[in-house]
Amino acid sequence: MRTLSVPDEHLFGLHNLPYGVYSTADSAPRVAVRYGDHVIDLAVLLGDEDTFARGSLNTFMAQGHDRWVAVREAITRALRSEVPDEAVHALAEVTLHLPVEVADYVDFYASEHHASNLGRLFRPDNPSPLMPNWKHLPVGYHGRASSIVVSGTDIVRPSGQRKGPQDEAPVFGPSTRLDIEAEVGFVVGTGNTMGDQIGVGQAEEHLFGVVLFNDWSARDIQAWEYVPLGPNLGKSFASTISPWVVPMLALEGARVDTPTQDPRPMEYLRGGPSAGLDIDLEVSWNGQVVSRPPYREMYWSPAQMLAHLTVNGAPARTGDVFASGTVSGPAKEQRGAFIELTWGGAEPVTVAGEERTFLQDGDEVVLSATAPAPGGKRLGFGEARGTILPSRD
Ligand code: MN
């Protein structure tokens, strides 16, 4: 047995305790909690092999909100006393895996600043950059769950059709406008029966936790394909998430009001917790920070997004992930996508001494974030990292 000591000000102190899935050279993937720079095996710590000696968090998440509260308390108690040596691994010595077996994936579009910027770039002739529905419902589309990968996974440049304004006919080839979207992803712990709804007041009891989410986007493929049914292959080739799922229970100190919603949302989108989140994101491109998107600016709350997802009776499921949409603030240096940061490629940025508009082969992007925690502390989300490999075409 041993006693672990992690300073209070550590981003992964007792106030955080995010969940993930790890393996070592001798073990299959198992559920763990991160404490400081230790990875703690939960099956060993809590003596529950059925729940935690598994390759994803899904079994645990399906046990529901009361159980998430009880387990978090049990972990906190256990870490304050002596911990079995065989439960403790050094972060640097383990492999981290995709923490969730992703069921369905939906991507929203909840930043007014991002939606307005993209409206101006994609539809310059429209009188208003926001579509008429945007302030009435959280706009979203169904994405591809199978290409959600864990931080550190290389991203192959996608190929597809595109038709630039100068092209007479569409052409096929590797994307020349490969981009990122810095987002926050929400993991659904428990769902609803088909035909029922999750009300905005109950939504947070269904939300297990939060990950960082990079929605890699091929803007040239997207621009040609997206009318009238929305994004498809321009997005579905890959999305990167952080390996640690920060529990909603750890984010009580990060609560903020959403911006004023005007017009007033419909009844089914009202009520419940005032539940914006004060998360500070950071986008690093080849080692240089190029943007600091503020999540507190997001127009729609996660509870509203989940309520909207199920208002038609569609069943959400354990392991569903929905992402917020690109997080962009009002200032240029707060834009969470390179198409906005470089204004469609017209205003290159200098990245580590080189001019960039969209991603080149070999480029690396890292999303990271922190949020306030009670007692003046901060908590970390880890990172979502990816490097672009050349096209295979
Ligand atoms: Mn997106």
Rounded CA-CA distance 12/340 in Å is 32
Instruction: From 74, 97, 120, give the residue that closes a domain.
Output: 97
- In this prediction, residue 304 carries a pLDDT of 97
- One domain for residues 57 and 175: no
- One domain for residues 312 and 366: yes
The three-state secondary structure class of 332 is helix
Domain-located, residue 11: no
Domain-located, residue 270: yes
State the distance from the centre of ligand 1 to the C-alpha of 324, rounded, in angstroms. Answer: 7
Quote the number of domains for the chain. 2
Domain-located, residue 14: no
- One domain for residues 217 and 188: yes
Domain-located, residue 3: no
State CA 233 to chain mean position distance: 19
Determine contact, residues 337/114, Cβ cutoff 8 Å: yes
Domain-located, residue 6: no
- One domain for residues 58 and 195: no
Indicate the DSSP class of residue 294: B
Question: Would you list the DSSP string of 221-239?
Answer: HHHHH-TTT---HHHHT-E
- One domain for residues 334 and 190: yes
Domain-located, residue 2: no
Instruction: Enumerate the active-site residues.
Output: 114
- One domain for residues 34 and 183: no
Query: Residue 123: how many CB atoms within 10 A of its CB?
Result: 13
Show the DSSP H helices in the chain as ranges. Answer: 42-46, 49-52, 58-62, 65-80, 112-122, 203-206, 219-225, 233-236, 302-310, 338-341
Q: What share of the chain is helix, strand, coil (3-state, %, to 5)?
A: 25, 30, 45
Residues in Cβ contact with 16 at an 8 Å cutoff, skipping those fewer than 6 apart: 34, 246, 250, 373, 379, 380
Instruction: From 77, 97, 117, give the residue that closes a domain.
Output: 97
Per the document, the length of the chain is 393
- One domain for residues 126 and 73: no
Query: Residue 186: how many CB atoms within 10 A of its CB?
Result: 29
Q: What is the CATH number of the domain that holds 26?
A: 2.30.30.230
What's the sign of the alpha-carbon dihedral 46, 49, 54, 59?
negative
- In this prediction, residue 57 carries a pLDDT of 99
- One domain for residues 60 and 177: no
Which domain does 329 fall in, by range? 105-389
The three-state secondary structure class of 296 is helix
State the distance from the centre of ligand 1 to the C-alpha of 16, rounded, in angstroms. Answer: 26
Instruction: From 97, 115, 140, give the residue that closes a domain.
Output: 97
Domain-located, residue 212: yes
- One domain for residues 70 and 164: no
- In this prediction, residue 274 carries a pLDDT of 63
How crowded is the C-beta side of 236, counted as CA atoms within 13 Å?
A: 14
- One domain for residues 109 and 150: yes
- One domain for residues 27 and 124: no
State the distance from the centre of ligand 1 to the C-alpha of 235, rounded, in angstroms. Answer: 8
Low-confidence ranges of the chain (pLDDT < 70): 273-274
State the distance from the centre of ligand 1 to the C-alpha of 336, rounded, in angstroms. Answer: 10
The three-state secondary structure class of 373 is strand
Please give, one letter per residue, the 3-state secondary structure of 49-93: HHHHCCCCCHHHHHCCHHHHHHHHHHHHHHHHCCECHHHEEEHHH
Residues in Cβ contact with 3 at an 8 Å cutoff, skipping those fewer than 6 apart: 81, 82, 83
Q: What is the CATH number of the domain that holds 320?
A: 3.90.850.10
State the distance from the centre of ligand 1 to the C-alpha of 150, rounded, in angstroms. Answer: 17
- One domain for residues 334 and 221: yes
Domain-located, residue 5: no
State CA 228 to chain mean position distance: 26
Residues in Cβ contact with 376 at an 8 Å cutoff, skipping those fewer than 6 apart: none
Rounded CA-CA distance 290/341 in Å is 9
State the distance from the centre of ligand 1 to the C-alpha of 326, rounded, in angstroms. Answer: 5
How crowded is the C-beta side of 30, counted as CA atoms within 13 Å?
A: 24
